[in-house]
Amino acid sequence: MSGKTVDFDEGRRRKRSGFWMVVRGFLGVAVLVGVLGAVNFDVIKRAHYVLTGGGLESWENAAVEEGFVSSAEEYYYDNLPEQYHEAYREIYVHIMRGEDSGDFMAQIGGEEFWDVYYAVLADHPEIFWIGTSAQIETDMTGRVVGYDLEITVPVESRPSMRQNLEAAADECIARIPSIASDYERIKMVYEYLIDTVEYQAGSADSQNVQSALLYHTSVCAGYSKAFQYILHRMGLFCTYITGKTRDGGDHGWNMVRIDGEYYYVDVTWGDPVFAGQVEGENAGNVTNYNYLCCTEYDLFKTHIPDESITLPPCTSDKYDYYKLNGFYYEYFDYDTIRNALMNSVWNGESSIVMKFGSAEALESARYELFDNGLLDEPGQYLMEMNGVSTWNYRYNIDDEFCLITIYW
C-alpha cells in the first residue's frame, strides 16, 4: 500500500508539474507577444517619424516656426557631439511647447539623454518651470522612447511668471547706461545681484532664475542663472558652468566673453556675506570682486569644473578689478601702501582693498600692517576726525587671492 500511495502521489505531482509547464509556457508567450507588440508599435512610430522627415532639421524648423529660437549663443549645443544635436533640439522644442511628458523620437541612450537634457537647461535659463530631474522610459535596446519631466511651475502660472521675470531683468538693465562697455555691463549686473539677492539654502525654486530675480533668495544655481538670463537679454555671451569647490561641495558659476577672451564670474562667491568675509551693518556695502572676470589661475584655486563640457582657456587678466582700479601691488612698498591707506581715510572711504602680486608681498604687508604699526597713522587720523580716543578696525585676509581688505 505504501508503495502505491507513493506512486499515486508522484503521478499527481508529475501531472501538476506538466500543467504548470503549460501555464508557464502560455504566460511566457503572452508576455513575449506583449513585449513584441510594444516593440513593434515603437518601431512603427519610429518608422513614421523617419519617413515624414523627422530629424534634426525638422526640430530646427519647428523651433523657428513656433518662435522658440533664442538669440543667445548655445554654448553646450555647440560643444556636444554632433550626433546628439537632434536629441538636444527635440528636448528643447518639447519643453518650449509645454509638453512636460510624452514620446521621444531621437535615438539616444539613457546616459546620453541626461547629458543632453542638462545641456539644454544650461544653455537656457529662461526655462524656469523645469526641475533638474526627470523620468525616462527605455525600450529593450536601452534607447529612450518616452520622458516625464519634473515640473516646478504649473502651466497656468507660466505666462505671468515669464512677464514678471522679463520685467525684473529689465529693471536691472535700465540702471545701466547705454554707453557702458561690455565689461561695465557685466560688472553692474554682478553688483546688482549681490545687492538684491540673499544666499539662503532651501530657497523656493532655488535651481531656477525666479528664486533670485523674483524672490531675492537663492543658492548658487539661482544666482548664476539670473546672471546668465540678464546678460542674454542684453545680447552678451554668458554660459552656466557646474563643478565642485575644493571642499567637495557642488557648485555653479558662469563664464563670459569680452572681445573674444573668456573670463569666469561667480556671483555667489562675490557676496561678502556668503563668503564670510565680513559681518555686520556694513556687510552689504562691500562687494567681493575676486570673482568678477577672473582667470582660471585664480578660480581653479577654489573651483573644479565638471569635465562633461570642453572649456576654453580663461587666461587673460585684462579685466582684473584690482588692476583696473589701482588696487594691485606687484610688490610691497612701505611708502606706497602708507599713501594708499592715508588717501583712503582722507577720502572718507569705508574700506580699502589691496591685492598683491605674490604670497611674499602679502606676508610683508601683513607684518607691516598688523605687527609693525603701519596702521597707526591712519588710525590716529580717524580718532582725531571723530573726536574719540580709541579706534577699532576689522580686516579680512584672502590668502588664495593675496588680498587684504581693511574696514575703517
Rounded CA-CA distance 376/374 in Å is 6
Strand order in the sheet with 130-138: 101-103, 144-151, 130-138
State residue 275's pLDDT score.
58
Residues 265, 255 contacting (CB under 8 angstroms): yes
Name the grid cell of 296. Answer: 582660471
Residues 56, 63 contacting (CB under 8 angstroms): no
State residue 4's pLDDT score.
26
**Per-residue pLDDT averaged across 174-180, rounded?**
97
Residues 224, 268 contacting (CB under 8 angstroms): yes
**Per-residue pLDDT averaged across 217-232, rounded?**
97
State residue 393's pLDDT score.
85
238-293 per-position pLDDT tens digit = 999 999 998 888 999 999 999 999 999 999 999 876 655 444 444 445 788 999 99
Residues 6, 14 contacting (CB under 8 angstroms): no
Residue 107 has pLDDT above 70, yes or no: yes
Residue 14 has pLDDT above 80, yes or no: no
Residue 315 has pLDDT above 90, yes or no: yes
State residue 314's pLDDT score.
98
330-346: buried (b, 16+ CB within 10 Å) or exposed (e) per residue?
Answer: eebeeeebeebbeebbe
Residue 117 has pLDDT above 90, yes or no: yes
Pairing of β 328-329 and β 351-356: parallel
Rounded CA-CA distance 231/173 in Å is 9
Using CA atoms of 59, 234, 285, 327 in order, give the dihedral in degrees to the nearest 10. 110
State residue 202's pLDDT score.
86
Crossing angle for the helix pair 376-386 and 334-346, to the nearest 10 degrees: 10
1 pLDDT band, cuts 50/70/90, is very low
The dihedral through the CA atoms of 124, 130, 131, 134 has a sign that is negative
User: Higher model confidence: residue 386 or residue 259?
Assistant: 259
Burial class (CB in 10 A: 0-12, 13-18, 19+), 293: buried
Rounded CA-CA distance 58/65 in Å is 10
Q: Is 229 left (phi over 0), alpha (psi -120 to 50) or beta?
A: alpha
Residue 210 has pLDDT above 80, yes or no: yes
Q: Tell me which DSSP letter residue 273 carries.
A: T
375 pLDDT band, cuts 50/70/90, is very high
Phi/psi of residue 348, each to 5°?
A: 70, 25
22-56 per-position pLDDT tens digit = 333 333 433 333 444 445 556 777 777 876 777 89
| Cβ contacts of 66 within 8 Å, gap of 6 or more | 93, 96, 97
Residue 59 has pLDDT above 70, yes or no: yes
State residue 236's pLDDT score.
98
Residue 380 has pLDDT above 50, yes or no: yes
Q: How far, CA to CA in Å, does 123 sit from each of 140, 158, 240, 264, 322?
A: 31, 19, 7, 16, 30
142 pLDDT band, cuts 50/70/90, is very high
187-196 per-position pLDDT tens digit = 999 999 999 9
Q: Tell me which DSSP letter residue 343 carries.
A: H
